[in-house]
């Protein structure tokens, strides 16, 4: 039993105990609820009358228990009748569609246009007050709720394969509805039922309070509160008891409804909200800052925090980017290239964090460790010294703000200036990234632009403050090939305009690497396996994975297109030694030990200990 289920059963048990009292009222040793006892009017709690006596000297406790019967009878009665009628209408409407749908579903929705209490009052005017009238009125009110829920669920279930299969086998529609569709819509029905019972109790007590519901002298919580209100300066306690009973019952029902929803649709999202909103402890650097030209990543690891400790996702990433260089991070999906980019800007998803290493970055104020900065310390750097281009521009742009405003925001945030001046700068930027008619486009919302234009706007945003380092996370992956080529040309042009800018280009596309990058880091299973200039690595790969990767690309010179056997190991199940060994044709006994990044000369590195015996003579 899960925690959510246990919690639900505890609350259901409590509800069952409480419901037992009114159900057993006729056999409980309760005092009469109707007779008068004038000498004991407004008497406080006593041994004989635990909750005291009311304005006619009647026992309050027994009136509360008997009063619950009226509330529960009306609420459960109407919720049940409405459930039966609403379910039938919803099933028929959702399954047969067409005219049945209009008659069964749409017509009931008109009832929703009337505020609930008013329809009940309309019915009461015609039929007169009383328990039966209330039940009828509330049933009419609740039917559309059930119809809607069941209709939506039926539409969903009706489209499922097993229902289609039964139809194909010629099963009678009513049989399908009863046997297949109905059991599948039970969960939303249960939630709706607990909601309507709570709402029924509220409406019954409200109408009784107005004197339009249960007819006195029969006891009802609403009537008791009505009477207590008239006498509240004499005995305020009389107001307390029925109010407590009423609010407590509704609260109990609401809690049960919440727990029911927890059980039926367990929340997968981690609790705790956004990590970046929490207060962060400033970390003191555990190493002196080295002199770096722009960026130097040392032994950077990213891990995910789990209940049973943390699990490493990337391990010992190391590379360097000098001003003007373009470093491509290349590898299969899941190799950790995007995480590395996000770790450098402190934008890792909630449960993920940097677990070790440094990312030294040169700012005007000196060298800082990007891996140890707090959210506040990142503020002046992000969008100014370091900026990012994300893969999915449609999601990365805010849908409710105009493009121009979103761009002006990043400019004004780092360089305060009047709105007009920022706007003029935005127009210039958009023109620079090749968006036609920028004066008008700044008024457009993201959804009004094409995919390519959105990505251009995203890039314009990233270069708005002439950053020293631009991190582009698969900026062309979501685009079609002709647009991809245009965007790559745009990157090349921006590089010409700002020659000192270092770029980290995350991609899985080797052809893109060849076109845009000066240097490349090949990543595999959370590690860098090979590094060097693009030219040399492509001409003379020194890691079996790089070699295999190059051979698997249609654009390569390999005679035959090869695929790499096996799959990338899962995080948490990484091999102790070389992570590529299980898929490598050259694996030897020594590969079972952890592999360091070896310097192979000419500024190149590889994580293959056999590189020398495998390829030295070839090179």
The 124-163 contact track toward another protein, x by CB under 8 A, reads xxxxx-----------------------------------
Among the listed residues 148, 296, 315, 382, the single contact to another protein using CB under 8 A: 382
**Whole-number minimum distance, CB 618 to another protein, in Å?**
44
The 74-113 contact track toward another protein, x by CB under 8 A, reads ------------------------------------xxxx
Which of 311, 292, 388 has its CA nearest to residue 353? Answer: 311
Among the listed residues 410, 426, 537, 550, the single contact to another protein using CB under 8 A: 410
**Subset of residues 295 to 354 that bind another protein, contact rule: CB under 8 A:** 345, 347
Q: Does 24 bind another protein (CB under 8 A)?
A: no
599: part of which helix (H) or strand (E)? strand 598-601
**Whole-number minimum distance, CB 158 to another protein, in Å?**
24
Rounded to an integer, what distance in angstroms lies between the CA atom of residue 517 and that of residue 330? 11
CA distances from 62 to 48, 94, 112, 131, 220 (A): 11, 46, 37, 19, 11
CB atoms under 10 Å from CB of 194, counted, come to 21
If the CB atoms of residues 242 and 569 are measured against another protein, the closer one turns out to be 242
Q: Does 397 bind another protein (CB under 8 A)?
A: yes
The 37-66 contact track toward another protein, x by CB under 8 A, reads ------------------------------
**Whole-number minimum distance, CB 327 to another protein, in Å?**
19
Counting residues that bind another protein (by CB under 8 A) gives: 78
**Subset of residues 450 to 469 that bind another protein, contact rule: CB under 8 A:** 458, 461
State the Cα torsion 31-34-40-42 to the nearest 10°: 110
* 8 A C-beta contact, residue 194 and residue 251: no
527: part of which helix (H) or strand (E)? strand 527-533
**Whole-number minimum distance, CB 311 to another protein, in Å?**
21
**Subset of residues 475 to 504 that bind another protein, contact rule: CB under 8 A:** none
Question: Residue 526: CB partners within 8 Å, gap ≥ 6?
Answer: 312, 313, 314, 315, 335, 336, 571, 574, 579
State the Cα torsion 186-192-197-201 to the nearest 10°: 180
Among the listed residues 40, 41, 97, 414, the single contact to another protein using CB under 8 A: 414
If the CB atoms of residues 136 and 176 are measured against another protein, the closer one turns out to be 136
Rounded to an integer, what distance in angstroms lies between the CA atom of residue 41 and that of residue 52? 9
Among the listed residues 20, 247, 306, 590, the single contact to another protein using CB under 8 A: 247
Q: Does 219 bind another protein (CB under 8 A)?
A: no
**Whole-number minimum distance, CB 463 to another protein, in Å?**
12
Strand 386-389's sheet: what is its strand order?
A: 386-389, 469-473, 502-507, 326-330, 519-524, 527-533, 604-606, 598-601
Q: Does 209 bind another protein (CB under 8 A)?
A: yes
Among the listed residues 381, 429, 487, 528, the single contact to another protein using CB under 8 A: 381
If the CB atoms of residues 445 and 538 are measured against another protein, the closer one turns out to be 445
Rounded to an integer, what distance in angstroms lies between the CA atom of residue 504 and that of residue 329? 7
Q: SS3 of 522, please?
A: strand
Q: SS3 of 597, please?
A: coil
**Subset of residues 178 to 207 that bind another protein, contact rule: CB under 8 A:** 198, 202, 205-206
Q: Does 121 bind another protein (CB under 8 A)?
A: yes
If the CB atoms of residues 91 and 203 are measured against another protein, the closer one turns out to be 203
If the CB atoms of residues 241 and 360 are measured against another protein, the closer one turns out to be 241
If the CB atoms of residues 390 and 611 are measured against another protein, the closer one turns out to be 390
Tokens of residue 114, six digits: 């009337």
521: part of which helix (H) or strand (E)? strand 519-524
The owner of tokens 């245009």 is 486
Among the listed residues 37, 409, 425, 515, the single contact to another protein using CB under 8 A: 409
* 8 A C-beta contact, residue 59 and residue 208: no
């Amino acid at each position: 039993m899960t925690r959510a289920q246990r919690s639900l059963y505890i609350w259901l048990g409590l509800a069952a105990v409480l419901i037992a009292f009114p159900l057993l009222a006729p056999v409980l040793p309760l005092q009469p609820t109707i007779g008068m006892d004038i000498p004991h009017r407004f008497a406080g709690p006593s041994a004989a009358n635990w909750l005291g006596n009311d304005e006619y000297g009647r026992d309050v406790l027994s009136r509360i228990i008997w009063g619950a019967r009226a509330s529960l009878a009306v609420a459960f009665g109407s919720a049940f009748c409405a459930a039966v009628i609403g379910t039938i209408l919803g099933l028929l409407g959702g399954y047969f569609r067409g005219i049945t749908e209009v008659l069964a579903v749409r017509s009931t929705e008109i009832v929703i246009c009337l505020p609930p209490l008013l329809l009940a009052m309309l019915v009461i005017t015609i039929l007169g007050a009383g328990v039966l009238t209330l039940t009828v009125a509330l049933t009419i009110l609740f039917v559309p709720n059930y119809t809607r829920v069941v209709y939506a669920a039926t539409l969903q279930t009706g489209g499922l394969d097993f229902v289609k299969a039964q139809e194909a086998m010629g099963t009678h529609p009513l049989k399908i509805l009863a046997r297949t569709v109905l059991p599948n819509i039970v969960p939303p029905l249960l939630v709706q039922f607990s909601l309507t019972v709570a709402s029924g109790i509220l409406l019954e007590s409200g109408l009784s309070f107005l004197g339009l519901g249960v007819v006195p002298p029969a006891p009802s919580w609403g009537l008791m509160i009505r009477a207590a209100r008239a006498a509240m300066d004499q005995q305020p306690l009389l107001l307390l008891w029925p109010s407590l009973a009423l609010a407590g019952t509704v609260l109990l029902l609401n809690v049960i409804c919440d727990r029911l929803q927890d059980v039926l649709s367990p929340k997968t999202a981690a609790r705790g909200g956004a990590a970046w909103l929490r207060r962060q402890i400033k970390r003191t650097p555990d190493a002196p800052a080295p002199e770096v030209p722009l960026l130097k990543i040392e032994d950077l690891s990213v891990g995910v925090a789990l209940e049973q400790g943390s699990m490493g996702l990337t391990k010992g990433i190391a590379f360097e980017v000098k001003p003007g260089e373009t470093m491509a991070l290349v590898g299969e999906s899941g190799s950790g290239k995007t995480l590395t980019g996000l770790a450098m800007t402190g934008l890792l998803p909630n449960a993920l964090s940097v677990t070790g290493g440094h990312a030294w970055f040169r700012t005007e104020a000196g060298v800082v460790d990007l891996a140890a900065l707090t959210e506040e310390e990142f503020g002046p750097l992000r969008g100014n010294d370091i900026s990012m281009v994300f893969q999915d521009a449609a999601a990365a742009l805010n849908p409710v703000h105009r493009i121009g405003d979103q761009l002006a925001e990043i400019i004004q945030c780092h360089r305060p200036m009047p709105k007009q001046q920022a706007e003029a700068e935005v127009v210039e930027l958009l023109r620079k990234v090749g968006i036609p008619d920028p004066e008008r486009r700044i008024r457009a919302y993201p959804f009004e632009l094409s995919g390519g234009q959105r990505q251009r706007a995203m890039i314009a945003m990233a270069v708005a403050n002439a950053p020293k380092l631009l991190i582009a996370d698969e900026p062309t992956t979501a685009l079609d090939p002709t647009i991809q080529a245009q965007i790559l040309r745009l990157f090349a042009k921006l590089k010409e305009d700002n020659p000192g800018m270092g770029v980290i280009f995350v991609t899985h596309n080797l052809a893109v690497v060849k076109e845009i990058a000066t240097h490349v880091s090949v990543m595999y299973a959370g590690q860098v396996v090979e590094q060097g200039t693009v030219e040399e690595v492509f001409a003379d790969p020194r890691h079996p994975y790089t070699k295999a990767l190059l051979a698997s690309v249609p654009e390569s010179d390999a005679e035959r297109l090869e695929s790499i056997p096996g799959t990338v190991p899962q995080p948490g199940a990484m091999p102790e030694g070389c992570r590529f060994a299980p898929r490598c044709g050259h694996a030897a006994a020594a590969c079972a030990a952890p592999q360091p990044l070896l310097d192979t000369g000419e500024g190149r590195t590889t994580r293959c200990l056999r590189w020398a015996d495998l390829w030295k003579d070839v090179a």
